[in-house]
Structure 1
Amino acid sequence: MSGSNNRNTQDAGAGPRPGLLWAVLCFTLPVGVILYGTVFVGVRPPVLPLLAAVALAGLMCLPVGYTWKELQEGMLESLGRVQLAVAILVMVGMTISAWLASGTIPAIIYWGLKLIAPQYFFASAFVLCAVASVATGTSFGTMGTIGVALLGVGGVMGFSPAMTVGAIVSGAYFGDKMSPVSDSTNITATICETPLFTHISSMMWTTVPAALVAMAGFMLLGATQTAASGSLESLSGILAGLENGFNLSPVVFIPPVLMVILAYRRYPVLPVMGVCLLSALLIALAGGATLDVLAKQLTTGYKAATESAQLNKLLSRGGLMSVMPTILLLTSGMAFGGILERARVLEVLLDAMLRGSRSPVRLVASTLGSAYIILLGTGSQMLAAIIPGRAFLHAYDENDLHRSVLSRTCEDAGTLGCPLVPWSVHAFYIMGVLGVSAYEFAPYALLNWGVPVFSILCAMTGIGMRRRDGSPVRRAPAQVENA
């Protein structure tokens, strides 16, 4: 009876709510279609499975009481949220070509091969991306610049691209989560009504131990892969090709230095990317490139022409057209999430998870689970932090838990879990820029898996858990009642 009543109830004009069973089906069956098409059938890129999921979700939400026009409005509203991501993708596609033409990426690869020992490569990639993303506050910018160069270094050393991207993603999202200039960090703190540095301090309890474990894992992974990298006989040829084919002078490091400085000063991401693009183009022009050639490279990608076939394959990438498949995937995935959000399917699932969440362990587990449901349903990192952050705010207050515990838990799942969902905004970006799907790199994104584990451990042990008055949960609560 309650399910039927929910379907016929209009909540402040938001539209009817599906019953819990129907909401579960509306969520799991389309997700199953996506997984079947991508994992078992192997459709790449998975545009058709995503479009099939959109159609199925739409058909299943019609009986709830929505018209197709209403569901279409939900799709369009969801697509509006990724306009900035699309613009960043376009800028990154052009920036990769410009950084190749200027010699910036070849120089990073050159010095990476010179300075990084193979057995420490994965750990070094993790640390470099973590430092860059903490300084800039952007995982997208880090992966689209430093990440591309490190992928090249790993390729020359003979490492699996999936392993390399796993280390890059782990480092990039460490900074996306912990940087005081990161959008996701600031938004989550605001949504959960927590001071920024209180939020960051709270996240250290789960993120720092997970980072240490991830570092140990990457060291071990590098040691097991040393033989493969050591067998590469063409390393000297690659270095010679870089020396003869590109400008490796210190001036080519101006674009990444500008990126770090401007991002740290909290300039908007698109102007920062524009400055990095323009500075690289000026360096390329000063080095003898022509405008007509650069215009073609910005559109269709840079085409390397060195004496090394391996190097040419490695450095021929970028351009506007290279990101178009990713944009198609991005819009398809967001349309799917827009239907589920408009039909209140995700709202019903979250309400079910809130019931009975009273102990710290159950609250933290429910928050993590809710964020993952939002990620699976919408593919949006921001929604995965915002929706649980607002939904669980009063539950944490009622159970005498500090709101910084809520804010960090939202990021433990929402920020770090997003790239692990194959149809999420971030996974599509990674595939478009680095060429490796979430199905391939996810097993090696050690930090992204480890942080939620430490989030649960903190809740179970009381370590890093605080009451509303700021006192540790592990301390006897005798004086808290009078606070």
Structure 2
Amino acid sequence: MSEDNNISEFKAKDQNIVDNKELNFFEALIPVIILMGMLAYNIFFVDDQEWFGGYTNQIILLLGGIVAAIVGFFNKVSLGLMLREIWENIRSVFVPIMILFLVGALAGTWLISGVIPAMVYYGLQVLSPEIFLPASVIIAAVISIATGSSWTTSATVGIALVGIGTALGINPGMIAGAVISGAYFGDKMSPLSDTTNLAPAMAGTDLFTHIKYMAYTTVPTIIVTLIVFAIISASIDTTGNADISQILETIDATFNITPWLFAVPVAVVGLILLKTKPLVALGTGVILAIIFAVVFQPNVLENVTGSKTKTIVNSIFTDTNIPIDDSTYMANLNTQDVKAINNNENLEPLFTDGGIEKNFSNEELQHIFDNANYDKNTLDLKTESLSRLLTIDKLKQLFGAGGMNGMLWTIYLIMCAMVFGGIMDAIGALSRITKALLSIATTVFGLFASTVVSCLGLNIIASDQYLALVIPGKMFKKAYQDRGLAPENLSRTLEDSGTVTSVLIPWNTCGAYQSGVLGVGVSEYFIYAIFNWLSPFTTLVFAAFSIKIRELKNK
């Protein structure tokens, strides 16, 4: 029991859950409503979505936490209890934060060592645009099943697939959505996954019964996902083979590309398969990448900063951008040409930091020089040079990494989310909201729907997928038993709505992690994370039509 007489606490799988008799449902919703209101205002009414600057989401979460604390004070919750829950929440994400730091270092060192460029180089030759998205789903799913971790999948093959797809001219949001869909399918179905073990433990069933029963909703959902991505892949416009050949030539001229570079990611995945701790596996990946950079990419190390040591250190801790020589092609364009290009609104990003907004055919590029009266050979040379410069600009954007520093925004977001979630837990709001949802479940379908809404709500409010499994699992377990429903119904619903939707919330630890690692915002990949947002609907359809709803044998 807590020191506060109105507070009761219990632990479930290392997660502390607080119940507050003084707090009513509407009071519990006040911080949520204000948080959602501030986020909505920032999204819809602030032009650059930076109401409070570059860290707007973090500040909004802290303001939401302050509101929650005020509600707590009015309901006799001590400051000590709030601070304790905040500390417990932050402590619970210590390892994920360390993983994020290492992923930042991994991205930088894998770049300078040529590992990521090699993945892109060979991947472009194997994966065609027509099959890329469904292939990405399958690749991510296989790795995730083998490793039991969607996070590890994104940090390894996910980064490579985003690079390959971007080089092919595919929308990064689509690529990230495909990777995340496959990664979370594998995470759900892998007996090595922590959430796949946690859900049945909370519901009261065994692991393999849970996985078997979960397949009824998960397999149809991933099949639909693959079909949708196959249709998208068949219909999207990409840069074409000519542009790919230019990319391959540029990568080959910049890096020493060899299949030996794949030894680094293979070693990392191998360590994970051997049940090595993620921090050790990723740390090994960083060390190996540094060694391979020294052995295979001495010229790259020298060209980036002028010092091999400085380049290696920078790749770990801060921004790294690989210089790509474009002087040959720039020499083919005179001052008048550059002026014509910069005066063209479509090509303006070429000589700025903004990047390329679209791809251009040779016919489109030739129109830039319409007024110059060049002969055919000169026009072809200048068009080819401009096309090469566009390719180089694309690769300059692709071959850049932020190191550990690039992960700080994401880490701050996670910590602020833990502050908000910790205070909400301390004042008993999470428990109160879940109980309210449980109380309105008067039918079997209503029970499933309440579970889904509870998991979704806790992913939004608590910002942590484990709490989104633990709290509903604890609260709803008896209700399922009372209705004569087998515990695997609950465990499946927890995963279908708790595990997979966490990545759709920008400030949830999973959403923040995936967007930080893949370099694609949640808003960009949300609609394409088809498996993740479709899963809750699938489980509700099964519940509505009583499909595979198992009853207890001895009711």
TM-score in same-fold range (> 0.5): yes
Pairing 1:119–2:137 present: no
Aligned runs of 1:72-91 on 2, under 5 Å?
72-91=83-102
* AA of the residue aligned to 1:305: P
**In structure 2, which of residues 298, 315, 327 is the aligned counterpart of residue 297 of structure 1?**
315
Secondary structure of 1:458's counterpart equals helix
Residues 169 and 10 of structure 1: CA distance in aligned 2, closer, same or farther (over 3 Å): closer
| Cα separation, 1, equivalents of 2:197 and 2:257 | 37
Partner residue in 2 for 1:132: 143
Residue 339 of structure 1 deviates from its aligned partner by 0.9
**8 Å Cα contact 1:136/1:259 also seen in 2:** no
Pairing 1:26–2:110 present: no
Aligned runs of 1:145-224 on 2, under 5 Å?
145-224=156-235
* AA of the residue aligned to 1:467: E
| Cα separation, 1, equivalents of 2:276 and 2:202 | 22
Aligned runs of 1:18-417 on 2, under 5 Å?
18-41=23-46, 42-43=49-50, 44-45=54-55, 46-225=57-236, 228-230=237-239, 234-287=243-296, 288=298, 290-307=308-325, 308-417=392-501
Structure 2 alignment gaps of length 5 or more: 10-17, 302-307, 326-391
Structure 1 alignment gaps of length 5 or more: 1-6, 470-479
Pairing 1:427–2:539 present: no
Secondary structure of 2:441's counterpart equals coil
Q: Which moved more, 1:140-149 or 1:64-73?
A: 64-73
**8 Å Cα contact 1:138/1:172 also seen in 2:** yes
Secondary structure of 1:353's counterpart equals helix
Partner residue in 2 for 1:464: 548
Residues 39 and 185 of structure 1: CA distance in aligned 2, closer, same or farther (over 3 Å): farther
* AA of the residue aligned to 2:146: A
Secondary structure of 2:276's counterpart equals coil
> How many pairs are equivalent?
463
1:31-53 per-residue CA deviation (whole Å, 9 max, x = no partner) reads 32233224432125422222222
Residues 318 and 148 of structure 1: CA distance in aligned 2, closer, same or farther (over 3 Å): farther
Residues 291 and 393 of structure 1: CA distance in aligned 2, closer, same or farther (over 3 Å): same
| Cα separation, 2, equivalents of 1:280 and 1:196 | 37
1:285-307 per-residue CA deviation (whole Å, 9 max, x = no partner) reads 22235444312211114321223
**8 Å Cα contact 2:30/2:68 also seen in 1:** no
1:434-469 per-residue CA deviation (whole Å, 9 max, x = no partner) reads 222212211111000111111112212232221223
Partner residue in 2 for 1:4: none
Secondary structure of 2:272's counterpart equals helix
1:189-233 per-residue CA deviation (whole Å, 9 max, x = no partner) reads 2222322111111111111000000111111111221xx204585
1:60-82 per-residue CA deviation (whole Å, 9 max, x = no partner) reads 33212224443233222221111
Secondary structure of 1:404's counterpart equals helix
| Cα separation, 1, equivalents of 2:44 and 2:94 | 28
TM-score by length of 2: 0.79
Residues 10 and 316 of structure 1: CA distance in aligned 2, closer, same or farther (over 3 Å): closer
* AA of the residue aligned to 2:244: L
| Cα separation, 2, equivalents of 1:296 and 1:431 | 22
* AA of the residue aligned to 1:396: Y
Partner residue in 2 for 1:477: none
Q: Which moved more, 1:185-194 or 1:316-325?
A: 185-194
Residue 83 of structure 1 deviates from its aligned partner by 0.6
**8 Å Cα contact 1:169/1:445 also seen in 2:** yes
1 or 2, which has the higher helix percentage? 1
| Cα separation, 1, equivalents of 2:412 and 2:81 | 22
**8 Å Cα contact 1:38/1:49 also seen in 2:** no
Residues 29 and 432 of structure 1: CA distance in aligned 2, closer, same or farther (over 3 Å): same
**8 Å Cα contact 2:77/2:426 also seen in 1:** no
Secondary structure of 2:500's counterpart equals helix
Partner residue in 2 for 1:473: none
**8 Å Cα contact 1:158/1:232 also seen in 2:** no
Residue 318 of structure 1 deviates from its aligned partner by 3.7
| Cα separation, 2, equivalents of 1:269 and 1:297 | 20
Percent identity reads: 32
**8 Å Cα contact 1:371/1:385 also seen in 2:** yes
**8 Å Cα contact 1:122/1:219 also seen in 2:** yes
Residue 58 of structure 1 deviates from its aligned partner by 2.2
| Cα separation, 2, equivalents of 1:117 and 1:233 | 13
Q: Which moved more, 1:27-36 or 1:77-86?
A: 27-36
Secondary structure of 2:256's counterpart equals coil
Q: Which moved more, 1:135-144 or 1:25-34?
A: 25-34
Partner residue in 1 for 2:534: 450
Q: Which moved more, 1:329-338 or 1:47-56?
A: 47-56
- Aligned CA RMSD, in angstroms, stands at 2.1
Whichever of the two has the greater Rg, that structure is: 2
TM-score by length of 1: 0.90
| Cα separation, 2, equivalents of 1:35 and 1:398 | 39
Partner residue in 2 for 1:17: 22
Q: Which moved more, 1:288-297 or 1:178-187?
A: 288-297
Residue 8 of structure 1 deviates from its aligned partner by 8.2
